A and B are shown apart, each in its own frame.
Chain A
């Protein structure tokens, strides 16, 4: 049961003022006036940002490079992470052995791996892709592992009761039961991948949206491009997240999300 909201006060006036789009408009207006009022030469207004992005020739290429890197690292993490997580969830002794290692590696920011990544992969696309892989790997593994652990024993018992072999048990019972939780993990992992991408691009490469932000400032205090880059990152990240959420509505997994 959802916690009751405070009695919905106010009529039409309140509804208009607090509508999501008017809130955003209000924020934009406030931003614009703040820039004008303080007479700042450096911080851009919303219009400056739009203009800056529009005039930038490399924008398409940067976006493409960022998307390429994040997909490579992410897909690798998913392909390796799901089986690893399933194994850890199924064989608890394996999980017990691997757990301390995972706990130790997890708090180390992917960026901290940068020097090692550069040793192994040089200054190329592979270094950020490796970082993105590292960052997405753990959420995927954990989601798959917890998914398996949380399969109600009743389903496994029923599967065994009907005479299923272990492989049939995995494909016909465990996997469908685990799928919703894995999907949620995939969505979270993508969010992490997208965050790390930006950070990774700030250090070792010379294209991409993360690079744009750092370079725009360093090369000429182009804060309009800095803010523009940030907003673009936000919008694209949001779109991709929404895409993955659509997958959660597929028939085969819908059952877990509509209780």
Chain B
């Protein structure tokens, strides 16, 4: 009985959804079943794989590019107090600006297409990852750094042997959260700036023929993939090299 409990929330939701649509005759909102059939239709037309891959592709490239820059930058700024103080106001100013606000500039620089979308993901991920890294470096126990220095480690060795392992738990949590953000942004970016992917599917399905069943099908797919991505990142949190950093639940 206990194990069924988590399912009841979803079941109730789906039931309520079905009833709401069934009792409301003129509504355009599709029933749960229609949405599922929509997914099947996409799979049959070969669009399912195509759109999912397109979205994942953009997320992966933009996210990895941001990661490669953010971690070294974050470590540098985390250790270099003066540098961080100088740069911080700019970072804080950029934070409230939605990545989507960069769309016109992205299109200006890269034209409409994949590169613009990847750039947006890159932008959306860069700031949170950098801030997380800076924060993680600040949170390193001073005694660990002191011990590292005591044993004669400096510069690159200190970073490799003490700093990187020490920030890993917090960094991975930040990476998981940022991946979630990247996934949100890619969908939004695709609604505006490109012509493939799950975000595009949603806008196009509606514009091209009021196919709300495909709209909702797209939303479900987005939700499921988002959960899967998050679960994958959570597995990383269980690695022994990372697990130590979390308080026992």
Whether A and B touch directly in their complex, counting CB atoms under 8 A apart, is answered as yes
A191 touches B78 (CB 8 A): no
Q: Which of B1-9, B38-46, B63-71, B238-246 contacts A (4 or more CB under 8 A)?
A: B1-9
CB neighbours (8 Å) of A234 from chain B are 93-97
> How many angstroms between the C-alpha atoms of A199 and B191 in the bound complex?
10
Least CB distance, A244 to chain B, in whole angstroms: 12
Do residues A233 and B101 form an inter-chain contact, with CB atoms below 8 A?
Answer: yes
Is there contact, CB below 8 Å, between B85 and A2? no
Complex-state Cα separation, A213 to B215, whole angstroms: 26
Q: A8-B82, A226-B104 are in contact. Are A107 and B222 (CB under 8 A)?
A: yes
Per-residue B-contact encoding for A95-108, CB less than 8 Å = 1, 0 else? 01111111111111
Q: How far is the CB of B232 from chain A (nearest CB, A)?
A: 13
**Residue of chain B at shortest CB distance from A215:** B104
Residue of B185, B215, B227 near A115 (CB, 8 A) is B215
Q: How far is the CA of A198 from the CA of B100 in the complex (A)?
A: 8
Beta-carbon contact of B9 and A23 below 8 Å: no
**Which residues of chain B from 128 to 178 have any CB-CB distance to chain A below 8 Å in the complex?**
137-143, 145-146
Is A223 on the interface with B (CB-CB < 8 A)?
yes
Q: Is residue B113 within 8 Å, beta carbon to beta carbon, of the partner chain?
A: no
Determine if A111 and B187 form an interchain contact, defined as CB atoms under 8 angstroms apart.
Answer: yes
Count of A-B residue pairs with CB < 8 Å: 191
Kindly state the separation between the CA atoms of A224 and B101 in the bound complex, as whole angstroms.
13
Segment 73-112 of B: residues with Cβ below 8 Å from A: 78-83, 85-90, 92-105, 107-108
Q: Please tell me if the beta carbons of B9 and A109 are within 8 angstroms of each other in the complex.
A: no
Q: Check B222–A115 contact: CB distance below 8 A.
A: no
Does B72 belong to the interface (CB within 8 Å)?
no
State how many angstroms separate the Cβ of B135 from the closest Cβ of chain A.
11
Please, which residues of chain A bring their CB within 8 A of the CB of B212? Answer: 115-116, 119
Min Cβ gap B160→A in Å is 16
C-alpha gap A1/B219 in the complex (Å)? 45
Task: Write the nearest CB–CB distance from A15 to chain B, whole angstroms.
Answer: 7
Q: A97-B6, A196-B98 are in contact. List 6 more A-B contacts (CB 8 A).
A: A96-B6, A107-B226, A109-B187, A111-B187, A116-B216, A231-B93
Nearest 3 CB-CB pairings of A with B = A107-B226, A237-B96, A1-B142
